[in-house]
Amino acid sequence: MITIPDPPKPMEANLQNCASSLGILDRLPAELLHEVLRSLDFQSAIRFSRVSIQGKNILYSLPAYRDVIKHAPHALAALSQTKLLHLHSASELHNALRNERCATCPEYGVYLFLPTCERCCWQCLRSNPTRRVVSPTAAAKTFALSPKMVQRLPVMFSIPGTYGVVCKSTQKSYRLVSVSAAKELVVSIYGSAENAIEAIIHRQPNEQTARYLQAIFSDSTCLDSLMIPDQGNARVDRYFGMASIPFPSLTTPDIVEHGLWCKGCEWTYKQYKDRRLSAYVIANIVPTDCNPDRVLFGMVRRARSRIRLSAHIRHCYGAQQLLADQGVQEG
Ligand SMILES: [Zn+2]
Ligand SMILES: [Zn+2]
């Protein structure tokens, strides 16, 4: 995932007593001005705040800006460095901050997927094709887009760093587009998802394309993507992690969460790798038709909120084993 070691410090708006004006915008009622600023993209809003002290004070008086700047400076810096800041408003970022659920499954979303400004969990980043970024050329091929159509897709520039499940370092910045944006574009061109799929398959009649499109257009937001049977056709994601960053949640005012990971699940996976987990235990944890390694490793990488973790521990095999061991030692 993206890491921003030293994000810019938030500026304080504490110049209330200085005489300042917004010029022609002073004629607008405050409520209307606030509504405009909430809907304005973040980059334009920051520029607006630099115009005058009054502008800065108004912007920083809005909870949406205050919360995002205070709690998510890393995400703002990442959006700026990937050249995506002009695509998202304070309202969108604030909504993501005030929620905790992954946008594409029912689990806790510990990351922000930058192209859509939505929360995302590790598993969806791994397996949901709409949470991927690809080169414009690959998007054109998959969605049968003309060069002119591809130009309509918002482009992001990856930040050089260490990415991927195996943590590989790259010094290159890639031009990337999101599969999600390409999906939206073809739906707008062809009028509906069904028409889009039909038109693309007509141009590229092969089974692999059909299966991939089906995965992209299927609506599975109510399913836990970790526990669904293996698809067997997952494409290698060479840009994994380049469009997402750890993102806090602020579902209750003043209680910020950054996600918690279960030690019990980590222990279970280690037991499995050491071949110390019985077939009976594996069958109780891993659904039929699922690869145990994928599921058990996914459980290790699954982040949870405090409430979700305490509910999980009650039925987590590894956590219960660790608690039982601790009880024996203390007794
Ligand atoms: Zn998810
Ligand atoms: Zn667990």
How far apart CA 257 and CA 44 sit, in angstroms, is: 29
Counting ligands in written order, which one lies closest to the CA of residue 126?
1
| Mean pLDDT on 11-34 | 71
Both tokens of 31, joined, read 């409520």
Cα separation, 67 vs 62, whole angstroms: 9
- State the distance from the centre of ligand 2 to the C-alpha of 100, rounded, in angstroms: 19
Residue 11: per-residue pLDDT: 58
User: From the CA of 287, how far away is ligand 2's center (Å)?
Assistant: 16
Q: Can you state the angle between helices 90-98 and 30-39, rounded to 10 degrees?
A: 80
Among all ligands shown, which has an atom nearest to the Cα of 227?
1
Task: Quote the pLDDT of residue 13.
Answer: 55
Considering every ligand atom, which ligand is closest to the CA of 109? 1
Q: Is 98 exposed, middle or buried (0-12, 13-18, 19+ CB in 10 A)?
A: middle
Query: Could you give the ipTM of this predicted complex?
Result: 0.98
CA of 111, nearest ligand number: 1
Helix axes 63-71, 53-61, angle to 10 degrees: 80
Alpha helix ranges (H) inside 50-192: 53-61, 63-71, 73-81, 90-98, 122-127, 136-142, 147-150, 179-190
Q: How far apart are CA 165 and CA 28, in angstroms?
A: 51
The closest ligand to the CA of 317 turns out to be 2
Ligand 2: distance of its center to the CA of 179 in Å? 32
Ligand nearest to the CA of 125: 1
**What sign has the CA pseudo-torsion 118, 238, 162, 291?**
positive
Q: Encode pLDDT of 252-306 as tens digits.
A: 888 999 999 999 999 999 999 999 999 999 999 999 989 999 999 999 999 999 9
Percentage of the chain modeled with pLDDT above 70: 94
pLDDT at residue 12, rounded to an integer? 59
Ligand nearest to the CA of 101: 1
Torsions phi, psi for 67 (to 5 deg): -65, -45
Measured in Å, residue 316 CA sits from the centre of ligand 1 at: 19
At residue 9, the pLDDT reads 67
Distance 316 CA to ligand 2 centre (A): 5
pLDDT bracket for residue 161 (50, 70, 90) = very high
Instruction: State in Å: Cα 147 to ligand 2 middle.
Output: 47
CB-based contacts of 251: which residues, under 8 Å, 6+ apart? 98, 99, 100, 257, 305
Ligand nearest to the CA of 223: 1
CA of 119 to the centre of ligand 2 (A): 22
Q: How far is the CA of 260 from the centre of ligand 2 (A)?
A: 11
Task: Tell how far the Cα of 301 is from the centroid of ligand 1, in angstroms.
Answer: 12
- 313-331, pLDDT tens digit by residue? 999 999 999 999 887 777 6
- Ligand 1 centre distance from Cα of residue 140 (Å): 26
Mean pLDDT for the chain overall: 90
- Which ligand does the CA of 224 lie closest to? 1
Ligand nearest to the CA of 122: 1
